[in-house]
Amino acid sequence: MTKFIWGPEESLILPLPEISFLMNNDDSGRCQMHQVGIPEYEIIKWAKQFGNKTKRFIDCGAHMGTYSLLLADEFKHVEAFEAQRRTYFQLCGNIFMFDKTNV
């Protein structure tokens, strides 16, 4: 069952089988992730084969950090860029929740 945590922007934490993401209540991806999980998960599993602790992963248009956070353990550094301010704050919250110091 989804656990709702309401804040100033009506945010919630969306639990998935293995992980949870901080998402805005009106985020269009929320419904899709809630119903089918992370659609990019197969791509993320594929990308892990290219990671090692000497490489840098660059995520342009990082949104809430799905790729960045799920690949952070495979790379030395992860650069996550998000242009939309509200989504950027969501990304920052997820980096904090995941306790990733290399993102």
pLDDT at 55 over 90: yes
Residue with tokens 């509200």: 86
Instruction: Give the closest residue to 67 by CA, choosing from 34, 42, 30.
Output: 42
Question: Does residue 3 form part of some domain?
Answer: no
Output the average pLDDT for the chain: 79
How many independent structural domains does the chain possess?
1
Question: Does residue 80 form part of some domain?
Answer: yes
Question: Does residue 40 form part of some domain?
Answer: yes
Question: Does residue 23 form part of some domain?
Answer: yes
pLDDT band at 67 (very low <50, low <70, confident <90, very high): very high
Mapping DSSP to helix (H, G, I), strand (E, B) and coil, where does residue 77 land?
strand
Phi, psi of 80 (to 5 degrees): -115, 120
pLDDT at 73 over 90: yes
DSSP 8-state secondary structure symbol assigned to residue 4:
P
pLDDT band at 87 (very low <50, low <70, confident <90, very high): confident
pLDDT band at 31 (very low <50, low <70, confident <90, very high): low
Top-confidence residue, 72 or 38 = 72
DSSP 8-state secondary structure symbol assigned to residue 47:
H
